[in-house]
Amino acid sequence: MATTSDEATRDDPALVAGLRAGESATFDVLIRQYGGRLLAVTRRILGNDDEAREAVQEAFVAAFRARQQFHGDARISTWLHRIAVNAALMRLRSKKRRPEESSDELLPTFQADGHHAERFASWDEPVDVALSRRETAAFVREAIDRLPESYRVVLTLRDIDGLSTEETARMLDVTSNAVKIRLHRARMALRTLLAPRFAGEAP
């Protein structure tokens, strides 16, 4: 199987050494190189630009404190990604939680014969692919932001960031079955929100 350029390349040993030594110049490079990517990750989880920026700052502080724990077993980008996701999730947990809005209206309803009451547009494109397409990215991001927090987070971790069910369960401190249920409902809710666009109707 062919490897991607990201898989085929290794982190510069000098960059790894600078990271472990806590060199400010190295962290400046990491912030320039990965800051934008991490901001996109935290923004998807938190749904708020200001909180996302603060989570990224907290992630780099945490990375600096944990720098001696990095031994090059994973790519620096992967290591930073996990730290940023954890920083965003910690912010979610520390917030004074408000009751989530009901998502019942976003889930499919059924007729007496068991068939869908709605006729969904045919949309089965993976979320990460839809986000990569310029003509649909903004609409998909807006739809994801409208999902209840628990759905938005699990959709982000599984379908966009590519974490496994088990990894997602560990990060969210829930069971794998809970992740599967939330992910299924999140996908159905997102499909409901996207259906008007893909049916050619005004959103």
- CA distances to 47, 169, 203 from 150, rounded to whole Å, are 12, 12, 23
pLDDT given at position 97? 54
Architecture of domain 11-94 in this structure: Orthogonal Bundle (1.10)
- CA distances to 64, 66, 76 from 70, rounded to whole Å, are 10, 7, 8
Q: Is the pTM of this model over 0.75?
A: no
pLDDT given at position 94? 83
9-51 residue pLDDT tens = 568 889 999 999 999 999 999 999 999 999 999 998 998 899 9
Identify the helix (H) or strand (E) that includes residue 178. helix 176-198
pLDDT given at position 11? 81
Q: 125-134 as b/e, with b when 16 or more CB fall inside 10 Å?
A: eebeebbeee
Which stretches of the chain score pLDDT less than 70? 1-10, 96-126, 128-135, 197-203
Architecture of domain 104-198 in this structure: Orthogonal Bundle (1.10)
pLDDT given at position 192? 85
pLDDT given at position 31? 95
pLDDT given at position 104? 54
pLDDT given at position 3? 37
pLDDT given at position 203? 42
Q: Hey, where are the domains in the chain?
A: 11-94, 104-198
Is 125 in a helix, a strand, or coil? coil
pLDDT given at position 174? 93
pLDDT given at position 168? 94
